[in-house]
């Protein structure tokens, strides 16, 4: 496997793993709500608009690994960098929105931190992939 293909595989796997962590995070939040018998946070914090937004995010996460493995156009490689940075910043901004609320920092942030680390690694790999010359893909 060439260096270009190795980096491309890391990008695809990074998106897959970020999706898995995203799903795990949602699952843990639902389980916590069930344990506490309190689902009002979902209605108040998320609402139907938020639920629809989560569906769009899930669709992006699900499609990106396939697109990364299927499309190699230079414009697309740079678009992957931008989209990966956006997703990283979106999750980070969402986490910061909970500072000072009833979601104190603790063990449940392990998945958030994992997502951030995966996102940084994926941004680095996506940038390396985007900068490759077309003949080296």
| Domain ranges for the chain | 3-136
pLDDT higher than 90, residue 124: yes
Per-residue confidence (pLDDT) for residue 14, from 0 to 100 = 98
Per-residue confidence (pLDDT) for residue 120, from 0 to 100 = 97
| Long-range CB contacts (within 8 A, 24+) of 71-79 | 72/8, 72/137, 74/130, 74/134, 77/126, 77/129, 77/130, 77/132, 78/130
Binned at pLDDT 50, 70 and 90, residue 70 comes out as very high
Q: Of 13 and 53, which is predicted with more confidence? A: 13
24, with CB counted inside 10 A (0-12, 13-18, 19+), is middle
Q: Of 98 and 60, which is predicted with more confidence? A: 60
Helical (H) or strand (E) element with 120: helix 110-131
Distance of CA 82 to the CA centre of its chain: 13
Per-residue confidence (pLDDT) for residue 137, from 0 to 100 = 46
């Amino acid at each position: 496997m060439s260096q270009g293909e190795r980096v491309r595989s890391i990008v695809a796997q990074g998106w897959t793993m970020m999706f898995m962590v995203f799903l795990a995070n949602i699952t843990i939040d639902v389980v916590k709500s069930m344990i506490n018998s309190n689902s009002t946070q979902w209605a108040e914090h998320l609402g139907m608009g938020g639920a629809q937004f989560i569906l769009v995010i899930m669709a992006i996460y699900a499609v990106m690994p396939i697109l990364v493995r299927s499309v190699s156009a230079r414009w697309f490689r740079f678009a992957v960098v931008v989209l990966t940075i956006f997703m990283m910043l979106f999750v980070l901004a969402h986490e910061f929105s909970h500072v000072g609320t009833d979601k104190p920092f603790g063990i449940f942030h392990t998945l958030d931190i994992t997502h951030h680390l995966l996102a940084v690694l994926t941004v680095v790999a996506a940038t390396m992939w985007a900068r490759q010359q077309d003949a080296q893909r």
